[in-house]
Amino acid sequence: MSNIQSVLEEKRLFPPSAEFSAKARLDKDKLAALRAEAEKDPVGFWAELARRNIAWQTPFRTVLDDSQAPNYRWFTDGRTNASANCLDRHLGTKGDKIAIRFEGDKGDTKTWTYRALHAEVCKLANGLKSLGVTKGDRVVLYMPHTPEAVMAMQACARIGAVHSIVFGGFSSGSLRDRIEDAGAKVVITADGNSRGGNIIELKKAVNEALSSGCKSVEKVVVLKRSGHDVAFDAKRDVWWHELLAKQSSNCDPEWVESEHPLFLLYTSGSTGKPKGIQHSTGGYLLGAHMSCLWVFDLQDSDVFWCTADVGWVTGHTYVGYGPLSCGATILMFEGVPTWPDAGRFWKVAQDHGVTIFYTAPTAIRALMKLGEEPPAKYDLSKLRLLGSVGEPINPEAWMWYHRVIGKEKLPIVDTWWQTETGAIMMSPIPGATATKPGSCTQPLPGIFADVVDEAGEAIKSVEAGGYLVITKPWPAMLRTIWGDNERYIKTYFGQFPGKNLYVAGDSTHRDKDGYYWIMGRIDDVLNVSGHRLGTMEIESALVSHPRVAEAAVVGRPHEVKGESVFAFVTCKGARPQGEEADKLLKELREHVGKEIGALAKPDDIRFSDNLPKTRSGKIMRRLLRSIAKGEEITQDISTLENPAIVSQLQGKA
């Protein structure tokens, strides 16, 4: 409620500057015209964009096939290739343009032109073919955030293989589960890499994952990055550089049907098992491409820096595919914002002449805490546009971004979207939309959002609060959950039977101007530092520890992370106290780190004799959330099986 209050009181409005609008791809009038076209004929609108913006080997005639709804299919009889769209089509006009600028954690730099990138991607694609990878095979990438990760994505796309990237911060156990679910034939990894000065043991984790299962994996391609010694299985493992040395730098793209899966990306939901979100080729690419042009106003001279790791969807759409499909120059940075010092991000932005900077609120809040001096030391005058993604941005962080980084001049695009939506769904258009701090403003042209009540009924008034839904299919939407179409239908379209609404899982408020304010998840999903985590996953990790009998995990508001993990745990045997409790607490945090990854480690763990349950056995999560926040308990606890447990949960007894 306090969140709702604070955004409702937010009255500031920042119209785009005349200077920005004059040069932008879209100004107010052009945006209005696009919206009108989309309203009139949504399917025809996307068809026209797809014809003009995607290079098709075989043009499509069917635009939208909804005969199997909600398994929508777009541009079904068209054939294309994502890598050809990102690379080949620029070779004639932009072969010598820099595609990727790179800076490593330790400050090493390198650039690749479109021609050079194309050659490397072709070599790797040929290398993968030589290992037996063919169209439709799954390849798992567990890689550092370096250009080779983009090359690996592009190489898979080039031969019609389906990549599935697992973020390098996930543990070997999480990696194993994802490899097994996807049935991957090949894994591409690196020996290790440096992040914030620490070595990330990628190959070691792959070795562990493969020694405990993953029977489908035939080969492991290993990029030499850290150069430290790693255990190498000569029969199974092959060095990236040795594989590429033998290959031709030409590889014809495999022309795939538009619906051919481009990638899987696992994300958390409300059960313990992550979902393999499956994206298509043609529709996804169109969403990635158009949103880059509309939202980031990408121009030929831009240097676009999206700070997201390739392991997350933002790193797919706004590092690996979208900007390259536009022929833009991107920057990739391997490190972290504040290492070796508080000015690193700003130094990187300065040194590479970054013009568009896209990051997460958690990073903004962390940098904001370090004060105004670090950014003031660097020349950020090339910046022309700022973006935010991954979680609600609080007005205070928005204002800091606007004032200190944007010098009160630069537009900020707060972009709302999800792994499932493939591309940005709601965002200001920087040359056209007046922004309000904390609001992602309005849906993009061709995207139809609404607010519904608990029965799935649209709320008629403009000003409304409730569930955020998308009312019409869009090209970049997920196609299914890998291996579990029923779960796809149930999770995203099953909440309001018969209504055919995509339910995003977020609650929202729409103000009197029709601007959307995302309030956060309404399911059991946490957003920790912009990383999506299922409470059930963390609970399963906790109960897999021999001392734990039961666990309940909730989110607690956190100044920098947005939300942090708070776990209530009951133990087998007596409740641990004093030193024993401290020791177990540390052990459990490490255990979760090992089971899922460091990103899921609880900040708080509280031991109690019981968890608060209703007489029907349901854990009262709302009560736990209040306790985690340290709130006064005002809710009715008379239905609790054991009301006396409350003070223990509060840490008082």
Q: How far is the CB of 259 from ligand PRX (least distance, A)?
A: 22
β partners of residue 630: none
Q: How far is the CB of 130 from ligand PRX (least distance, A)?
A: 35
Q: How far is the CB of 415 from ligand PRX (least distance, A)?
A: 5
Q: Alpha carbon 427 to chain centroid distance?
A: 16
Whether the CB-CB separation of 448 and 471 falls below 8 Å is answered with: yes
Whether the CB-CB separation of 305 and 160 falls below 8 Å is answered with: no
Residue from 599, 596, 590, 440 nearest 528 by CA: 599
Q: Which stretch binds ligand PRX (CB under 6 A): 181-189, 323-331, 373-381, 516-524?
A: 516-524
Give the one residue of 527, 529, 564, 648 binding ligand PRX; rule: CB under 6 A: 527
Give the one residue of 42, 374, 505, 534 binding ligand PRX; rule: CB under 6 A: 505
SS3 27: coil
Q: How far is the CB of 424 from ligand PRX (least distance, A)?
A: 8
Q: Does 466 bind ligand PRX (CB under 6 A)?
A: no
Q: Which stretch binds ligand PRX (CB under 6 A): 138-146, 413-421, 603-611, 635-643?
A: 413-421
Which helix (H) or strand (E) segment holds residue 90: the answer is helix 89-94
Give the one residue of 159, 293, 440, 565 binding ligand PRX; rule: CB under 6 A: 440
Q: Does 447 bind ligand PRX (CB under 6 A)?
A: no
Q: Does 374 bind ligand PRX (CB under 6 A)?
A: no
220-245 in b/e burial notation, b at 16+ Cβ within 10 A? bbbbebbeeebeeeeeebbebeebbe
Q: Does 16 bind ligand PRX (CB under 6 A)?
A: no
Site for ligand PRX in 82-121 (CB under 6 A): none
Residue from 27, 12, 10, 18 nearest 429 by CA: 27
Q: Which stretch binds ligand PRX (CB under 6 A): 7-15, 112-120, 515-523, 622-630?
A: 515-523
Q: How far is the CB of 403 from ligand PRX (least distance, A)?
A: 20
| Cis peptide bond N-terminal to 70, omega within 30 | yes
Give the one residue of 302, 391, 524, 563 binding ligand PRX; rule: CB under 6 A: 391
Q: Does 537 bind ligand PRX (CB under 6 A)?
A: no
Q: Which stretch binds ligand PRX (CB under 6 A): 347-355, 387-395, 568-576, 626-634?
A: 387-395
User: Per-residue x/- mask for ligand PRX, residues 296 to 335, rule CB under 6 A?
Assistant: -----------------xx---------------------
For ligand PRX, the closer of residues 122 and 478 by Cβ is 478
35-64 in b/e burial notation, b at 16+ Cβ within 10 A? bebbeeebbebbbebbeeebebeeebeebb
Q: Copy the structure tokens of residue 331.
A: 């920057």
Q: Does 508 bind ligand PRX (CB under 6 A)?
A: no
For ligand PRX, the closer of residues 104 and 555 by Cβ is 555
For ligand PRX, the closer of residues 178 and 521 by Cβ is 521
Question: How is 122-153 classified by DSSP, letter by letter?
Answer: HHHHHHHHHTT--TT-EEEEE--SSHHHHHHH
| Cis peptide bond N-terminal to 411, omega within 30 | no
Q: Does 518 bind ligand PRX (CB under 6 A)?
A: yes
For ligand PRX, the closer of residues 154 and 291 by Cβ is 291
Which DSSP letter does residue 378 get? S
Q: Does 387 bind ligand PRX (CB under 6 A)?
A: no
Site for ligand PRX in 225-284 (CB under 6 A): 267
Q: Which stretch binds ligand PRX (CB under 6 A): 385-393, 543-551, 598-606, 620-628?
A: 385-393
Q: Does 390 bind ligand PRX (CB under 6 A)?
A: yes
In angstroms, the CA 52 to CA 49 distance is 5
Residue from 87, 231, 203 nearest 144 by CA: 203
Q: Does 165 bind ligand PRX (CB under 6 A)?
A: no
Q: How far is the CB of 392 from ligand PRX (least distance, A)?
A: 4
Q: Does 392 bind ligand PRX (CB under 6 A)?
A: yes
SS3 510: strand
Give the one residue of 178, 219, 532, 591 binding ligand PRX; rule: CB under 6 A: 532
In angstroms, the CA 304 to CA 387 distance is 11
Residue from 616, 555, 578, 445 nearest 26 by CA: 445
SS3 376: helix
Q: Which stretch binds ligand PRX (CB under 6 A): 374-382, 415-423, 536-544, 605-613?
A: 415-423
Q: Does 364 bind ligand PRX (CB under 6 A)?
A: no
Q: Does 418 bind ligand PRX (CB under 6 A)?
A: yes
- What is the rounded (10 degree) CA torsion for 272, 310, 88, 476? 40
Ordered strands of the 385-389 beta sheet: 109-113, 98-103, 329-333, 303-306, 356-359, 385-389, 412-415
Q: Copy the structure tokens of residue 426.
A: 């709601």
**Inter-CA distances, 283 with 42, 53, 75, 588, Å:** 14, 11, 7, 43
Which helix (H) or strand (E) segment holds residue 155: the answer is helix 147-159
Give the one residue of 506, 524, 537, 595 binding ligand PRX; rule: CB under 6 A: 506
Q: Does 480 bind ligand PRX (CB under 6 A)?
A: no
User: Per-residue x/- mask for ligand PRX, residues 610 to 629, rule CB under 6 A?
Assistant: --------------------
Q: Does 415 bind ligand PRX (CB under 6 A)?
A: yes
Q: How far is the CB of 250 from ligand PRX (least distance, A)?
A: 35
Q: How far is the CB of 528 from ligand PRX (least distance, A)?
A: 11
Q: How far is the CB of 531 from ligand PRX (least distance, A)?
A: 7
Q: Does 419 bind ligand PRX (CB under 6 A)?
A: yes
Count of residues near ligand PRX by CB under 6 A = 22
Q: Alpha carbon 578 to chain centroid distance?
A: 40
Q: Does 417 bind ligand PRX (CB under 6 A)?
A: yes
564's CB contacts (< 8 A; 6+ apart) are 528, 555, 556, 557, 558, 602, 603, 604
Q: Does 414 bind ligand PRX (CB under 6 A)?
A: yes
In angstroms, the CA 7 to CA 437 distance is 8
Q: Which residues bind ligand PRX (CB under 6 A)?
A: 267, 313-314, 389-392, 414-419, 440, 504-506, 518, 520-521, 527, 532
